[in-house]
Amino acid sequence: MFLETDRLILRKFREEDFAGFCAYAMDAEMCRMMGNDPMDTEEAARVTFDWLKDKEERSYVLILRKTGRVIGNLNVTPVPAHLLDLPALTGKQGRSLSFCISRQYRRQGLMSEAVRGVIDRLFCEEGMDYVQCGHFDFNTVSAKLQEKLGFVHLTTMELDFKGENVVSVENILWKP
Protein backbone atom coordinates (compact mmCIF):
# COMPACT_ATOMS: atom_id res chain seq x y z
CA MET A 1 0.00 0.00 0.00
CA PHE A 2 1.23 3.46 -0.86
CA LEU A 3 -0.97 5.68 1.29
CA GLU A 4 -4.09 5.77 3.44
CA THR A 5 -6.17 8.84 4.19
CA ASP A 6 -9.29 9.21 6.30
CA ARG A 7 -11.55 8.05 3.46
CA LEU A 8 -9.23 6.50 0.86
CA ILE A 9 -6.69 3.80 0.25
CA LEU A 10 -4.13 4.37 -2.51
CA ARG A 11 -2.28 1.27 -3.69
CA LYS A 12 -0.92 -0.31 -6.85
CA PHE A 13 -3.48 -1.62 -9.33
CA ARG A 14 -4.42 -5.29 -9.11
CA GLU A 15 -6.24 -7.44 -11.64
CA GLU A 16 -9.39 -7.41 -9.51
CA ASP A 17 -9.59 -3.62 -9.98
CA PHE A 18 -10.40 -3.90 -13.70
CA ALA A 19 -14.22 -3.75 -13.41
CA GLY A 20 -14.01 -0.72 -11.12
CA PHE A 21 -11.54 0.95 -13.48
CA CYS A 22 -13.93 0.42 -16.40
CA ALA A 23 -16.78 1.98 -14.41
CA TYR A 24 -15.06 5.39 -14.41
CA ALA A 25 -12.46 5.20 -17.18
CA MET A 26 -14.88 4.32 -19.98
CA ASP A 27 -16.62 7.69 -19.52
CA ALA A 28 -16.03 9.58 -22.81
CA GLU A 29 -15.85 12.96 -21.07
CA MET A 30 -13.30 11.63 -18.58
CA CYS A 31 -11.16 10.39 -21.48
CA ARG A 32 -11.34 13.79 -23.19
CA MET A 33 -10.31 15.64 -20.04
CA MET A 34 -7.34 13.31 -19.56
CA GLY A 35 -6.29 13.48 -23.21
CA ASN A 36 -6.99 9.80 -23.79
CA ASP A 37 -8.62 8.11 -26.72
CA PRO A 38 -12.17 7.04 -25.87
CA MET A 39 -12.30 3.73 -24.09
CA ASP A 40 -15.67 2.62 -25.41
CA THR A 41 -15.01 -1.10 -25.09
CA GLU A 42 -13.54 -3.25 -22.37
CA GLU A 43 -10.76 -4.18 -24.81
CA ALA A 44 -9.81 -0.50 -25.19
CA ALA A 45 -9.96 -0.01 -21.41
CA ARG A 46 -7.84 -3.12 -20.94
CA VAL A 47 -4.90 -1.53 -22.80
CA THR A 48 -4.82 1.47 -20.46
CA PHE A 49 -5.51 -0.63 -17.37
CA ASP A 50 -2.66 -3.03 -18.14
CA TRP A 51 -0.31 -0.12 -18.77
CA LEU A 52 -1.21 1.48 -15.43
CA LYS A 53 -0.97 -1.85 -13.61
CA ASP A 54 2.17 -3.24 -15.22
CA LYS A 55 4.19 -0.41 -16.76
CA GLU A 56 3.55 2.80 -14.83
CA GLU A 57 5.77 2.44 -11.78
CA ARG A 58 3.81 4.79 -9.53
CA SER A 59 0.20 4.50 -10.61
CA TYR A 60 -2.21 4.10 -7.73
CA VAL A 61 -5.84 3.11 -7.63
CA LEU A 62 -8.10 5.15 -5.33
CA ILE A 63 -10.31 2.94 -3.19
CA LEU A 64 -13.11 4.29 -1.03
CA ARG A 65 -12.40 2.83 2.41
CA LYS A 66 -16.05 2.61 3.46
CA THR A 67 -17.13 0.46 0.49
CA GLY A 68 -13.91 -0.92 -1.04
CA ARG A 69 -15.02 0.56 -4.36
CA VAL A 70 -12.48 1.66 -7.00
CA ILE A 71 -13.25 5.32 -7.75
CA GLY A 72 -10.22 6.73 -9.57
CA ASN A 73 -6.47 6.76 -9.94
CA LEU A 74 -3.46 8.97 -9.32
CA ASN A 75 -0.04 8.79 -10.99
CA VAL A 76 3.28 10.11 -9.70
CA THR A 77 5.74 10.46 -12.58
CA PRO A 78 8.95 12.29 -13.45
CA VAL A 79 8.38 15.88 -14.50
CA PRO A 80 7.95 16.07 -18.29
CA ALA A 81 11.28 16.77 -20.02
CA HIS A 82 9.95 19.87 -21.80
CA LEU A 83 9.36 21.52 -18.41
CA LEU A 84 12.73 20.68 -16.87
CA ASP A 85 14.43 23.36 -19.00
CA LEU A 86 12.40 26.12 -17.34
CA PRO A 87 14.70 28.33 -15.23
CA ALA A 88 12.41 28.05 -12.18
CA LEU A 89 13.00 24.28 -12.05
CA THR A 90 16.76 24.24 -12.67
CA GLY A 91 18.58 22.39 -9.91
CA LYS A 92 15.37 21.43 -8.13
CA GLN A 93 13.84 18.00 -7.53
CA GLY A 94 10.19 17.45 -8.30
CA ARG A 95 7.52 15.04 -9.42
CA SER A 96 4.49 15.37 -11.64
CA LEU A 97 0.96 14.31 -10.68
CA SER A 98 -1.97 13.29 -12.84
CA PHE A 99 -5.25 12.00 -11.53
CA CYS A 100 -8.86 11.26 -12.31
CA ILE A 101 -11.92 10.34 -10.29
CA SER A 102 -15.34 9.03 -11.21
CA ARG A 103 -17.83 11.83 -11.84
CA GLN A 104 -20.04 10.26 -9.19
CA TYR A 105 -17.40 11.06 -6.54
CA ARG A 106 -16.48 14.60 -7.60
CA ARG A 107 -17.07 17.58 -5.34
CA GLN A 108 -16.81 15.50 -2.16
CA GLY A 109 -13.22 16.46 -1.36
CA LEU A 110 -11.95 12.96 -2.10
CA MET A 111 -9.42 13.89 -4.78
CA SER A 112 -8.21 16.84 -2.67
CA GLU A 113 -7.69 14.41 0.20
CA ALA A 114 -5.72 12.00 -2.02
CA VAL A 115 -3.58 14.69 -3.63
CA ARG A 116 -2.81 16.35 -0.29
CA GLY A 117 -1.68 13.02 1.13
CA VAL A 118 0.58 12.35 -1.85
CA ILE A 119 1.99 15.89 -1.80
CA ASP A 120 2.78 15.54 1.91
CA ARG A 121 4.61 12.28 1.24
CA LEU A 122 6.55 13.76 -1.69
CA PHE A 123 7.66 16.78 0.34
CA CYS A 124 8.22 15.24 3.77
CA GLU A 125 9.38 11.70 3.02
CA GLU A 126 10.88 11.95 -0.46
CA GLY A 127 12.45 15.41 -0.18
CA MET A 128 10.95 16.95 -3.31
CA ASP A 129 11.22 20.71 -3.80
CA TYR A 130 8.04 20.97 -5.85
CA VAL A 131 5.11 19.08 -7.34
CA GLN A 132 3.99 19.87 -10.88
CA CYS A 133 0.53 19.29 -12.25
CA GLY A 134 -1.18 20.37 -15.45
CA HIS A 135 -4.53 20.40 -17.21
CA PHE A 136 -5.98 21.23 -20.59
CA ASP A 137 -7.48 24.71 -20.61
CA PHE A 138 -11.00 23.28 -21.05
CA ASN A 139 -10.70 21.08 -17.95
CA THR A 140 -12.16 23.52 -15.43
CA VAL A 141 -12.69 20.82 -12.78
CA SER A 142 -8.96 20.07 -12.63
CA ALA A 143 -8.09 23.77 -12.82
CA LYS A 144 -10.26 24.54 -9.79
CA LEU A 145 -8.89 21.61 -7.81
CA GLN A 146 -5.29 22.62 -8.49
CA GLU A 147 -6.03 26.21 -7.49
CA LYS A 148 -7.77 25.05 -4.31
CA LEU A 149 -4.68 23.01 -3.39
CA GLY A 150 -2.38 26.01 -3.81
CA PHE A 151 -0.83 25.27 -7.20
CA VAL A 152 0.24 28.38 -9.10
CA HIS A 153 0.81 28.94 -12.80
CA LEU A 154 4.15 27.80 -14.18
CA THR A 155 3.68 28.03 -17.96
CA THR A 156 1.10 27.64 -20.69
CA MET A 157 1.87 25.72 -23.86
CA GLU A 158 0.12 25.09 -27.14
CA LEU A 159 0.47 21.47 -28.16
CA ASP A 160 -0.36 19.43 -31.21
CA PHE A 161 -2.25 16.60 -29.57
CA LYS A 162 -3.37 13.87 -31.93
CA GLY A 163 -3.67 16.39 -34.76
CA GLU A 164 -5.59 18.92 -32.69
CA ASN A 165 -4.25 22.15 -31.22
CA VAL A 166 -4.75 22.17 -27.44
CA VAL A 167 -3.62 24.47 -24.65
CA SER A 168 -1.94 22.86 -21.67
CA VAL A 169 -1.75 24.88 -18.45
CA GLU A 170 1.15 23.74 -16.26
CA ASN A 171 1.05 24.53 -12.55
CA ILE A 172 3.44 24.10 -9.66
CA LEU A 173 3.31 23.79 -5.89
CA TRP A 174 6.53 24.65 -4.07
CA LYS A 175 7.52 22.94 -0.85
CA PRO A 176 6.60 25.23 2.04
Average pLDDT over residues 60-85: 94
Q: How far apart are CA 119 and CA 124, in angstroms?
A: 8
Q: How far apart are CA 117 and CA 94, in angstroms?
A: 16
The dihedrals phi and psi of 20, each to the nearest 5 degrees, come to: -65, -40
User: How far is C-alpha 23 from the geometric centre of its chain's CA atoms?
Assistant: 17
> At 56, is the pLDDT very low, low, confident or very high (cuts 50, 70, 90)?
confident
pTM of the model: 0.88
- pLDDT tens digit string along 105-144? 988 999 999 999 999 999 999 999 999 999 988 888 899 9
Between the alpha carbon of residue 45 and those of residues 19, 24, 51, 101, the distances in Å are 10, 10, 10, 15
Q: Over 70: is that where the pLDDT of 59 sits?
A: yes
For β-strands 164-174 and 130-136, DSSP reports them as antiparallel
Between the alpha carbon of residue 34 and those of residues 16, 21, 27, 46, 87, the distances in Å are 23, 14, 11, 16, 27
The confidence score (pLDDT) of residue 89 equals 95
More confident residue, 159 or 71: 71
Residue 61 CB neighbour total at 10 angstroms: 23
Q: Which residues of 15-35 are buried (b: 16+ CB within 10 A; e: fewer)?
A: eebbebbbebbbbeebbebbb
The confidence score (pLDDT) of residue 117 equals 96
> At 103, is the pLDDT very low, low, confident or very high (cuts 50, 70, 90)?
confident
The confidence score (pLDDT) of residue 115 equals 96
Count Cα atoms within 13 angstroms, Cβ side, for 163: 1
CA nearest to 66, candidates 108, 31, 98:
108
The confidence score (pLDDT) of residue 30 equals 63
